[in-house]
């Protein structure tokens, strides 16, 4: 079979928006071939942002998705298309103002994304201890492609495509469903290589601010199996197209078209597999984010493409392959929604379709399976005895053998609340769980209990959202936050002084949600213990989702379109039945 002679080339053409925040986002605009620019000019945009991404994806032989650059940015870009999201905030609230309670927590959680930006940062960036960084990203060995921009994943200086796309899809979902809530509290203004060799300076071994990086930054390319990565990008682009549908219809259409093009490559002409199986692509990334399957991402992407286009071909793919995705998922991931597993969320999303825009046969059987599964998942959070154990303080432990329990609890809270909102729209009073019945108030109280735990209602009396409340982590595992912003450059060896310091971080990483306590509810506020103190963009995305779902913003129903802050029909706007 003829090999493709073209690579996936990414180049920067300007700046754009990627994730929600009040400041300006520096997202990556790449030559990925598929997306033309938005009809908005930089000057026309309220924050002078272009939402444009030039994705010139050149594939001569479409029987193989031959070279898919694996680097955070590439996706980010793509995802940036996903862009979404938002500028979700006029950030006058940060650090003061009239917000309190959940709206204030939401404001802070969104601000964390500003602290994770890479590339050229505007002077108006609200996080004042961050500056330009990663300005030579993409210059690696024989490659000389600009990959400047995007977002650092966590407390290190690495950029991952997979988790970034996941974060964008999830955030886009919340904007589609709860745009009225975002708007009501002033947050929607503009919606719309890891190497463990310590002898070598790199993103893991070196404790250095991203602004001071001088060591080589490898670019990893995927030559064969990247189905999971492609699927999540497909979902991110499709979901973002719905976000921009009213604001910029032309741009929204182009996002959907790009998603469709990638779908064709990923499902019909590609050797399927996970990105972490490819030694040239994800083997090193797998040390931190090992993907265990790909079918859930492809089904997830197809589901969002159906919603974004109304094309039932995508719904056919999603429903015909849903069971296979369930079977491929790890048993330990049952009921858990996070970067590695989309089955639970997909079941809830397709349940919304069955309850509110039932397409009937030939999809009914799988959609019923999804609604039964969604109900079962929510019951597993609530029933006594619980499938999942709880700490004495009330934190659900969805993955007892893994760190970051708060991040898993956040998405469980989100699924519980959004599922309850779906039931509320169709006047179903609660969830039937065998011999138990849980009214909608119980679904909401479970979700609220998990968020309250994160915000300080726990045995440690610790708010795990930095900056919220009077007692929060002060030694967050984060390079930029832990090194003074004092006009001096610090080498890797000099940075170790700050890594090992007993003093609190000189820069408060406002809005970061750390990994959280262990299963015994102990918490070590120690910079060298990332299993307790490291935040991630994927984790914060889940917290944002839970917070906005729970924000109590009374909105008068308007022609049954908005119920309880949720837009009943926006997500179905492209479906003609």
Whether the predicted pLDDT of 269 surpasses 80: no
Range from 264-273, 409-418, 429-438 that averages highest in pLDDT: 409-418
**Burial bucket for residue 316 (CB in 10 Å: 0-12, 13-18, 19+):** middle
51's tokens: 């939402």
Range from 103-117, 243-257, 444-458 that averages highest in pLDDT: 444-458
> Of the listed 136, 477, 478, 488, which one is catalytic?
477
Return the H-helix or E-strand segment holding 69: strand 68-70
How far apart are the C-alpha atoms of 548 and 545, rounded to whole Å?
6
72's tokens: 């955070």
Check residue 26 and give its pLDDT.
24
SS3 letters for 208-254? CCHHHCCCCCCCEEECCCCHHHHHHHHHHHHHHHHHCCCCCHHHHHH
How far apart are the C-alpha atoms of 456 and 458, rounded to whole Å?
6
Mean pLDDT of the chain: 79
Check residue 5 and give its pLDDT.
28
Q: How confident is the model at residue 232 (pLDDT cuts 50, 70, 90)?
A: very high
How far apart are the C-alpha atoms of 117 and 110, rounded to whole Å?
12
How far apart are the C-alpha atoms of 331 and 390, rounded to whole Å?
19
Encode pLDDT of 495-505 as tens digits. 888 899 999 99
Name the 3-class secondary structure at 20: coil
How far apart are the C-alpha atoms of 81 and 236, rounded to whole Å?
8
When mean pLDDT is compared across 6-10, 288-292, 505-509, the lowest value belongs to 6-10
When mean pLDDT is compared across 69-83, 223-237, 421-435, the lowest value belongs to 69-83
Annotated catalytic residue 477: yes
Check residue 282 and give its pLDDT.
65
* Residue corresponding to tokens 């300007």: 14
395's tokens: 């934190």
How far apart are the C-alpha atoms of 356 and 22, rounded to whole Å?
33
Give the pairing type, strands 566-567 and 220-222: unpaired
Contact in structure between 133 and 118 (CB atoms under 8 Å): yes
Q: What is the DSSP letter of 92?
A: G
Identify each DSSP E strand in 346-435 by its residue range. 389-390, 396-397, 430-433
Check residue 218 and give its pLDDT.
76
When mean pLDDT is compared across 12-16, 80-84, 408-412, 427-431, the lowest value belongs to 12-16
Q: How confident is the model at residue 97 (pLDDT cuts 50, 70, 90)?
A: very low
Return the H-helix or E-strand segment holding 68: strand 68-70
Check residue 487 and give its pLDDT.
87
Q: In CATH, what is the architecture of 102-569? A: Alpha/alpha barrel (1.50)
Whether the predicted pLDDT of 560 surpasses 90: no
Check residue 201 and give its pLDDT.
56
When mean pLDDT is compared across 51-60, 151-160, 554-563, the lowest value belongs to 51-60
Q: How confident is the model at residue 99 (pLDDT cuts 50, 70, 90)?
A: low
* Residue corresponding to tokens 């090999």: 3
173 alpha-carbon distance from chain centroid: 10
How far apart are the C-alpha atoms of 491 and 201, rounded to whole Å?
10
* Residue corresponding to tokens 């600009």: 146
Give the pairing type, strands 220-222 and 143-144: unpaired
Name the 3-class secondary structure at 438: strand
Q: How confident is the model at residue 281 (pLDDT cuts 50, 70, 90)?
A: confident
Range from 33-37, 245-249, 526-530 that averages highest in pLDDT: 526-530
Encode pLDDT of 420-472 as tens digits. 999 999 999 999 998 899 999 999 999 999 999 999 999 999 999 999 999 99
Q: Residue 385, preceding bond cis, omega within 30 degrees?
A: yes
Q: How confident is the model at residue 77 (pLDDT cuts 50, 70, 90)?
A: very low
Q: What is the DSSP letter of 524?
A: -
How far apart are the C-alpha atoms of 533 and 515, rounded to whole Å?
6
Neighbouring CB atoms inside 10 A of 351's CB total 23
Check residue 418 and give its pLDDT.
97
Encode pLDDT of 361-405 as tens digits. 999 999 999 999 999 999 999 987 778 999 999 999 999 888 899
Range from 11-15, 221-225, 276-280 that averages highest in pLDDT: 276-280
Encode pLDDT of 121-132 as tens digits. 888 888 999 999
How far apart are the C-alpha atoms of 139 and 148, rounded to whole Å?
10
Contact in structure between 119 and 10 (CB atoms under 8 Å): no
Taking CA atoms, 282 is separated from 157, 173, 215, in Å, by: 17, 27, 20
The whole-number average pLDDT for the span 168-193 is 80
Encode pLDDT of 463-488 as tens digits. 999 999 999 999 999 999 999 999 88
Whether the predicted pLDDT of 50 surpasses 70: no
More confident residue, 143 or 501: 501
Closest by alpha carbon to 370, among 384, 382, 358, 386?
Answer: 358
Neighbouring CB atoms inside 10 A of 55's CB total 26
Residue ranges covered by each domain of the chain: 102-569
The contacts of residue 341 (CB under 8 Å, 6+ apart) are 292, 293, 296, 329, 330, 333
Check residue 572 and give its pLDDT.
96
Half-sphere exposure of 509 (CA within 13 A, CB side): 34
Q: What is the DSSP letter of 93?
A: G
**Burial bucket for residue 114 (CB in 10 Å: 0-12, 13-18, 19+):** buried
């Amino acid at each position: 079979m003829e090999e493709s002679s073209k690579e996936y080339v990414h180049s920067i053409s300007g700046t754009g928006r990627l994730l929600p925040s009040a400041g300006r986002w520096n997202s990556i605009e790449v030559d990925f071939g598929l997306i033309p620019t938005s009809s908005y000019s930089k000057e026309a945009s309220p924050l002078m942002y272009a939402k444009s991404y030039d994705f010139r994806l050149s594939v001569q032989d479409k029987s193989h998705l031959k070279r898919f650059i694996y680097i955070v940015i590439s996706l980010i870009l793509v995802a940036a298309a996903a862009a979404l999201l938002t500028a979700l905030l006029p950030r006058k609230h940060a650090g003061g103002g009239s917000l309190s309670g959940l709206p204030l927590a939401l404001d802070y959680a969104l601000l964390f994304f500003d602290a994770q930006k890479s590339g050229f940062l505007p002077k108006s960036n609200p996080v004042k201890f961050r500056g330009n960084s990663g300005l030579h990203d993409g210059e690696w060995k024989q490659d000389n492609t600009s990959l400047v921009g995007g977002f650092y994943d966590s407390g290190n200086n690495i950029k991952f495509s997979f988790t970034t796309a996941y974060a964008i899809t999830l955030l886009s979902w919340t904007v589609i469903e709860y745009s009225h809530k975002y708007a009501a509290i002033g947050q929607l203004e503009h919606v719309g290589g890891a190497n463990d060799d310590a002898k070598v300076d790199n993103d893991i071994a070196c404790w250095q601010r991203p602004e001071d990086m001088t060591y080589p930054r490898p670019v990893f390319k995927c030559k064969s199996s990247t189905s999971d990565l492609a699927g999540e990008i497909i979902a991110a682009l499709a979901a973002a197209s719905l976000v921009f549908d009213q604001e910029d219809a032309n741009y929204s259409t182009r996002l959907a078209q790009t998603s469709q093009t990638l779908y064709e490559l990923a499902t019909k002409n590609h050797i399927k597999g996970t990105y972490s199986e490819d030694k040239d692509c994800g083997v090193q990334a797998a040390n931190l984010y090992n993907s265990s399957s790909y079918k859930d991402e492809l089904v997830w992407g197809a589901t969002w493409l159906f919603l974004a286009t109304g094309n039932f071909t995508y719904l056919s793919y999603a429903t015909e392959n849903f069971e296979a995705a369930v079977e491929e998922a790890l048993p330990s991931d049952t009921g858990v929604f996070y970067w590695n597993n989309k089955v639970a969320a997909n079941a809830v999303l397709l349940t919304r379709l069955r309850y509110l825009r039932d397409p009937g046969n030939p999809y009914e059987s799988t959609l019923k399976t999804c609604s039964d599964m969604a109900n079962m998942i929510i019951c597993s959070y609530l029933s006594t005895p619980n499938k999942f154990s709880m700490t004495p303080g009330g934190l659900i432990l969805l993955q007892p053998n893994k760190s970051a329990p708060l991040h898993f609890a956040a998405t469980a809270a989100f699924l519980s609340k959004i599922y309850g909102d779906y039931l509320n729209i169709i006047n179903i009073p609660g969830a039937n769980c065998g011999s138990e019945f849980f009214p909608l108030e119980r679904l909401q109280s479970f979700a609220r209990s998990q968020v309250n735990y994160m915000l300080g209602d726990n045995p440690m009396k610790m708010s795990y959202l930095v900056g919220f409340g009077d007692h929060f982590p002060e030694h967050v595992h984060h390079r930029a936050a832990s090194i003074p912003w004092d006009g001096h450059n610090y080498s890797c060896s000099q940075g170790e002084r700050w890594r090992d310091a007993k003093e609190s971080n000189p820069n408060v990483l406002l809005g970061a949600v750390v990994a959280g306590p262990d299963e015994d509810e102990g918490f070590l506020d120690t910079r060298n213990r990332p299993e307790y103190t490291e935040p991630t963009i994927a984790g914060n995305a889940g917290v944002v989702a839970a917070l906005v779902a729970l924000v109590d913003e009374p909105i008068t129903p308007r022609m049954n379109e908005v119920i309880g802050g949720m837009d009943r029909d926006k997500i179905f706007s492209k479906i003609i039945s």
